[in-house]
């Protein structure tokens, strides 16, 4: 259960990161509310996962999932640059996260 909660928390990290960027310095109400809610739920899920998983593994997976989804979202929606190298690096990161799960 901790791994599932951790993965969902990583997704929520991407949600709050994108919302923070769209909040224009926390001046837009809806993105600010999404940011605050996503941040709280994401941190809560990370804390829950850390009760049974090692801190380093939990944090690495949480950040890895969040950053991968945030970059993928940027490439898909905001016209972020797409390159073979960037995609391969993101796939490598995902492979490392899977490796952490398998090694656990």
According to the model, what pLDDT value does residue 78 have? 73
DSSP the chain: -HHHHHHHHHHHHHHHHHHHHHTTTTTSHHHHHHHHHHHHHHHHHHHHHTTTS-HHHHHHHHHHHHHHHHHHHHHHHS-----HHHHHHHHHHHHHHHHHHHH-
Say what the pTM is.
Answer: 0.91
According to the model, what pLDDT value does residue 104 have? 82
Q: Residues of the chain with pLDDT > 90: what percent?
A: 92
According to the model, what pLDDT value does residue 93 have? 95
Mean pLDDT of 32-55: 98
């Amino acid at each position: 259960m901790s791994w599932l909660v951790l993965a969902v928390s990583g997704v929520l990290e991407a949600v709050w990161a994108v919302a923070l960027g769209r909040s224009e310095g926390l001046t837009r109400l809806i993105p600010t509310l999404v940011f605050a809610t996503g941040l709280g739920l994401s941190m809560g899920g990370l804390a829950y996962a850390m009760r049974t998983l090692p801190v380093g593994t939990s944090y690495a997976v949480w950040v890895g999932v969040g950053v991968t989804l945030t970059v993928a979202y940027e490439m898909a929606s905001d016209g972020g640059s797409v390159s073979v190298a960037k995609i391969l690096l993101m796939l490598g990161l995902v492979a490392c996260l899977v490796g952490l799960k398998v090694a656990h």
